[in-house]
């Protein structure tokens, strides 16, 4: 058994020896702190070390520490994250909404915290494959609020979205008995265009209000995606199935039955690049798949009727 004498000035706040490897990313810092919270090394309600202490321990700049703490705050593992006093471990971290070990959760619950965490980066990159972009538009609202409140300030934001083309026969939503195809298609198209326009307007407004370099691009797919996929900053993939259900809609005072998917309720699975080969490979292959669609069979998409 080996014993090491560690200079107190360079000792880890948890009793661990400070790593001598090259400077870590904020994702790696977040992963280590998350593991300490999950293991109980950092207890519920306990005050975290100061940002200065964490920066020294991990060998990173304070900005990377702040980004890591914001990630954990978005996952509801930490509270009171600010530039002043140290953050606090959440009273019940076992109920954290996200993170590699958290269970899948509905898109409306899980997506916004992950998008907000992604906006802590200097250069935000979001790619999405979806049916209408409703969930993405709703989730973007959280980081926009934090930007306007001065808590987030990315320098650059790139968003790419793949949506079904208006010129295809959709697999869903469709009428159950084939009556009302035009109405169902037009209703979906109006929703796709409206949500895309809101998403683009809200993001591009950051140029004028905060001087952020923003690019938002849409392209059309020649098929109906059976799943939704969100790729965040080249390090995380969020994946969900569109599950079809039978429901009623009213057209000219008549009831129409249709097969449709409620994407906001789809269970979202999170995969993150890191030491786990399975998750890392899933993220990498998802990027390859998205880029192949973007660069080959997708076409220009105009968000108009």
Give the other-Cβ count within 10 Å of 189's Cβ.
Answer: 17
The pLDDT of residue 110: 85
pTM for the model: 0.72
pLDDT category at 86 given cuts 50, 70, 90 is: confident
Which residues 6+ apart lie within 8 Å of 150 measured at CB? none
Q: Is 243 strand, coil or helix?
A: coil
pLDDT for the residue numbered 177: 86
- What's the token pair of residue 66? 């702040």
Say how many residues make up the chain: 305
Q: Higher model confidence: residue 38 or residue 228? A: 228
Give the pLDDT confidence score for residue 173 in this predicted structure: 95
H helices of the chain, in order, are 26-39, 51-58, 62-74, 107-118, 134-148, 181-210, 277-295
Angle of CA points 227, 219, 140, to nearest 5°: 65
pLDDT digits (tens, 9 = 90+) for 154-192: 999 999 999 999 999 999 999 998 777 899 999 999 999
CATH architecture of 26-93: Orthogonal Bundle (1.10)
Torsion angle in degrees (nearest 10) through CA of 17, 22, 28, 29:
50
pLDDT at 146 over 90: no
| Number of C-beta neighbours around residue 298 at 10 A | 20
Q: Tell me the per-residue pLDDT of 233-290, one tens digit each, with 9 for 90 and over.
A: 999 999 999 999 999 888 777 888 999 998 888 999 999 887 779 899 999 999 999 9
- Ranges of each domain in the chain: 26-93, 99-300
The pLDDT, as a whole number, for residue 19 is 42
Residue 15: pLDDT band by 50, 70, 90 thresholds?
A: very low
Q: Residue 162: CA atoms inside 13 Å, Cβ hemisphere, count?
A: 26
Structural tokens at position 153: 């300030």
CA-based nearest residue to 161, from 206, 207, 198: 198
């Amino acid at each position: 058994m080996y014993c090491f004498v560690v200079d107190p000035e360079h000792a880890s706040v948890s009793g661990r020896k400070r790593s001598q490897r090259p400077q870590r990313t904020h994702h790696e810092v977040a992963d280590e702190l998350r593991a300490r919270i999950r293991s109980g090394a950092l207890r519920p309600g306990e005050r975290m070390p100061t940002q200065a202490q964490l920066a020294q321990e991990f060998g990173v700049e304070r900005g990377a520490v702040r980004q890591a703490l914001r990630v954990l705050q978005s996952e509801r593992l930490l509270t009171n994250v600010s530039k002043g006093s140290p953050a606090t471990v959440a009273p019940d971290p076992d109920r954290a909404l996200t993170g590699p070990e958290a269970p899948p959760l509905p898109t409306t619950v899980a997506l916004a915290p992950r998008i907000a965490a992604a906006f802590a980066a200097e250069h935000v990159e979001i790619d999405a494959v979806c049916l209408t972009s409703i969930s993405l538009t709703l989730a973007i609202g959280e980081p926009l609020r934090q930007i306007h409140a001065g808590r987030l300030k990315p320098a650059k934001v790139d968003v790419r979205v793949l949506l079904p083309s208006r010129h295809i026969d959709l697999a869903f939503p469709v009428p159950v008995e084939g009556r009302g195809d035009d109405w169902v298609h037009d209703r979906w198209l109006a929703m796709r265009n409206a949500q895309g326009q809101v998403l683009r307007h809200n993001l591009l407004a950051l140029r004028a209000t905060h001087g952020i370099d923003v690019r938002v691009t849409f392209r059309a797919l020649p098929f109906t995606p059976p799943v939704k996929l969100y790729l965040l900053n080249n390090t995380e993939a969020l994946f969900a199935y569109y599950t079809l259900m039978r429901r009623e809609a009213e057209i000219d005072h008549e009831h129409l039955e249709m097969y449709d998917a409620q994407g906001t309720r789809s269970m979202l699975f999170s995969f993150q690049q890191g030491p786990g080969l399975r998750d890392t490979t899933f993220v990498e292959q998802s990027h390859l798949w998205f880029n192949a669609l973007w660069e080959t069979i997708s076409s220009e998409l105009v968000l108009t009727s």
